[in-house]
Structure 1
Amino acid sequence: MAGMMNSFDVIVVGGGPAGTTASTLLAQQGHHVLLIDRDHHPRFHIGESMLPMSEPVFKRLGVSLDAQEYLPKNGAEFIDEVRGGSIRFPLAGQYQPYQVERAKFDLMMITNAAKQGVEVHQQEMVKDVVCDEEKVSVRTDQASYAARYLIDATGRSAMMGRRNNTIRRIENLGKFSLYTHYSGVDAEAADTLFETGDVKIIIVDIGWFWVIPMTGRRLSVGLVVQKDVSAQDRGPELFERYLAASPMLTAALQGAVAEFDIKAEADFSFANEKRHGLRYACCGDSAGFLDPVFSSGVFLAVKTAEAVADRLHEALVDGREGDPDLHAVGDDDYHTAFNSMHMFVDRFYHTGLVHNLFFVAERSEELKQDILGLLAGDLWTGTNDFQHKLLRSRQSQKLNINK
């Protein structure tokens, strides 16, 4: 099929980190891969904070996140300015995480995919997809294509999940976010942000702020709201009111300029109850997306894409890509990661995790290391007692997803 005009081994829809990871890994193995993206890169995207355990995937892809282009991220600090208390978790160790401007980072990833043999089509919109026992057929606004397999990496658009009506909203996490970027962050109060590269999580009574430093003395600042607020109070004024109430933010942003009007996103946590089927698989956010408090988005995107690509490569070689249960073998690993982070976020909002655990002086060193492991994305060791407790509590509350 790959020798026919407009025919490929694999079609990947979506040019974010999941799509570029999956397509690059498959092209490296000699497969004929088409990546279709509706946008043109560079394009703005939120989600700038990486986790350490993403680095091995980047090395496989042949991309380098050096300190000239991206800011090394050395830790994560949780702060409550009103009630008092703070704790910093150091994240740099065996692997170095970074804070990245997503427009630049995603452009690097899609450019690398093209260099490694992926046929990249930008500004092309998928209109229809049919997966049957013989092949995959994709129709866009520009052409029609055939392939042996489809990878849905469409992010929160979740193309296959919404077509199949298998998207389930996850309740009671962050309800919406308001955010912008600031440039000219030259105040002395911001110096330590850029020296350490730490992400700051500032707890407020309706949710929390993220504060992410980037190269060029720039900050990404966002307010995630978990409490109910009236519809008329969901605009920029809410963001500005809470920002003005934060001594840390007002000092750091003195003289800084917002690069764009405050943007809003809502209802962003969901699970896809059918992440794979006949000749298709979902990876990244199209498989499920969680509240961003622990910065797991890009990490889960590249790790799920890596797993899908590796299984699919073997199946393509053996002619097994038509097996609708091809990716069932990876379900346990996926559930371990997604459910662990889900319960971690759930505990953040509903058990006073920060004050009752993070800020507690008598917390054991073993527990701190277990928490640090989750914050780093080290989710498959099997030895993290805190992670085991999270998963057991999930079972007891009957919150399991896809089981």
Structure 2
Amino acid sequence: MKLDVKNYDVIIAGAGPAGTTAATLLAQYGHSVLLLERDLLPRFHIGESMLPMIEPVMNRLGIDWSQGNLRKGGAEFIDEATGRSTFFSFEGIYRTFQIERSVFDKKLLDNAIKHGVVAHQQEQVISVQCMALEVQVGTDKAQYRGRYFIDATGRNALMGKKLSSINKINHLGKFALYKHYKLASSPDAEKLFAQGNVQIFLSEIGWIWGIPLMDGRLSVGLVVQKTAPVGLKQEALFEHYINASPRMNSLLAGAEVLSELRMEADFSYLNKQRFGQRFACCGDAAGFLDPVFSSGFLFAVKTAELVADQLHEALLASNEADPEIQISGDESYQVGFKTMYLMIERFYCSGIMQNLFFEQDRHVRIRKDIAAILAGDLWREDNVFQQGLLRGRSKIIAS
């Protein structure tokens, strides 16, 4: 196995949005960064619906994310069983978009390389040793040394599994089934793409997403929370509940299927040891939540930003071995993660949709507070609804 004689300031595993964001910011600060990715980008990835509070991070990275992406107006929640629906607008200071992840993730990687990041694709990290004086990282191709290691391996959660610190969060979605379609021309389709709204349909088994993309494409997914009817497996399960939605059925009339059915399992969890001596986790390696409020990409880039900014100061002070350098940033992360978790838990386990979301037009302050959370604005001190959430339950149920 080859030994890389160069010592890097930071070695990062994973070239998804968390890894490339941390890599780019650290390179902008002037640190040497090695980014290791087991796959070859572009690659397919779910998670196309973005939130407005991602834009400040994109601005720091020098990314114009309006290019080639569909402007997203907001989020619409629909209960076809009762005929009720509600809409939260995302129009404000920051823009947001529906993106094609394979293309956008590659754009983020190319941007990191442009900023001086050394990137190796198709190279898998096998071992990580975070020691008092250095980090040693072994891959299937070489051995590397550095001052610090960042785990951005997504739901593979390299450090979480190594440290047995992954705790599953109960009561939320169990798994997702999804396909991409090319819609036939219709007034409903034209309206959908003109508005660019993500649509969330309540279902007796969980919920359904409809995410409009460029070129007349629609991402459709079913998130399953409850036990599926006997005899309905994957394709049959997906088709049964998609067909049970009148609006989705109408949209998909005459549509071309662009992909086979895909599945994402091993849903919500929290990594209880997100940082330590010479390492930190960001993005899904730190924790993952049911995607009903589209928070995954936001947490990926936001945790990467927090980790990178804290690490930069530590590298300058040469105290990056201190296992507590990430405490401040992690406290901020926990505020956002707990807020979104509690919103999702109430979506599944309480009457928040019928009693609050569908009634939000009657309460201007609550409407604004909920809209702020759904937009990813999770770190403000004047959100009364958010503070109530956090006071009501401050400990995540995990096992």
Instruction: Give the TM interval when normalised to the shorter protein.
Output: over 0.9
2:336 aligns with: 337
1:163 aligns with: 162
| SS at structure 1 position matched to 2:227 | coil
Equivalent residues of 1:339, 1:401 under 8 A apart: no
1:45 aligns with: 45
| SS at structure 1 position matched to 2:5 | coil
2:382 aligns with: 383
Give the partner amino acid of 2:261: I
2:396 aligns with: 399
Question: CA offset at residue 282 of structure 1?
Answer: 0.3
1:208 aligns with: 207
Report matched runs for 1:251-270 at 5 Å: 251-270=250-269
The 1:8–1:196 alpha-carbon spacing in structure 2 relative to 1, beyond 3 Å, is same
**CA–CA separation in structure 2 for the residues paired with 1:190 and 1:95:** 26
Give the partner amino acid of 2:370: I
| SS at structure 1 position matched to 2:12 | strand
Equivalent residues of 2:10, 2:31 under 8 A apart: yes
Equivalent residues of 1:187, 1:254 under 8 A apart: no
**CA–CA separation in structure 1 for the residues paired with 2:192 and 2:144:** 48
Report matched runs for 1:90-129 at 5 Å: 90-129=89-128
Equivalent residues of 2:55, 2:95 under 8 A apart: yes
Equivalent residues of 1:33, 1:119 under 8 A apart: yes
Unaligned runs of 5+ in 2: none
Equivalent residues of 1:11, 1:151 under 8 A apart: yes
**CA–CA separation in structure 2 for the residues paired with 1:259 and 1:98:** 21
**Which stretch shows the higher mean deviation, 386-395 or 291-300?**
386-395
Report matched runs for 1:37-186 at 5 Å: 37-66=37-66, 68-186=67-185
Percent of aligned pairs sharing the same letter: 52
Report matched runs for 1:30-41 at 5 Å: 30-41=30-41
Equivalent residues of 2:360, 2:367 under 8 A apart: no
1:221 aligns with: 220
Q: Normalization by structure 1: what TM-score?
A: 0.96
Q: Between Structure 1 and Structure 2, how many residues are aligned?
A: 396
**CA–CA separation in structure 2 for the residues paired with 1:251 and 1:359:** 23
| SS at structure 2 position matched to 1:399 | coil
Q: Does 1:281 align with 2:280?
A: yes
Question: CA offset at residue 401 of structure 1?
Answer: 7.5
Q: Does 1:350 align with 2:349?
A: yes
1:16 aligns with: 16
Give the partner amino acid of 1:323: D
**CA–CA separation in structure 1 for the residues paired with 2:41 and 2:148:** 25
**CA–CA separation in structure 1 for the residues paired with 2:314 and 2:9:** 11
1:5 aligns with: 5
Unaligned runs of 5+ in 1: none
Equivalent residues of 2:69, 2:100 under 8 A apart: yes
The 1:374–1:64 alpha-carbon spacing in structure 2 relative to 1, beyond 3 Å, is same
| SS at structure 2 position matched to 1:138 | strand
Give the partner amino acid of 2:197: D
The 1:152–1:380 alpha-carbon spacing in structure 2 relative to 1, beyond 3 Å, is same
Question: CA offset at residue 249 of structure 1?
Answer: 1.1
Deviation readout 1:251-293 (Å, 9 max, x if unpaired): 1112211111111112210000000001000001100000000
| SS at structure 1 position matched to 2:336 | helix
Equivalent residues of 2:170, 2:398 under 8 A apart: no
Equivalent residues of 2:208, 2:222 under 8 A apart: yes
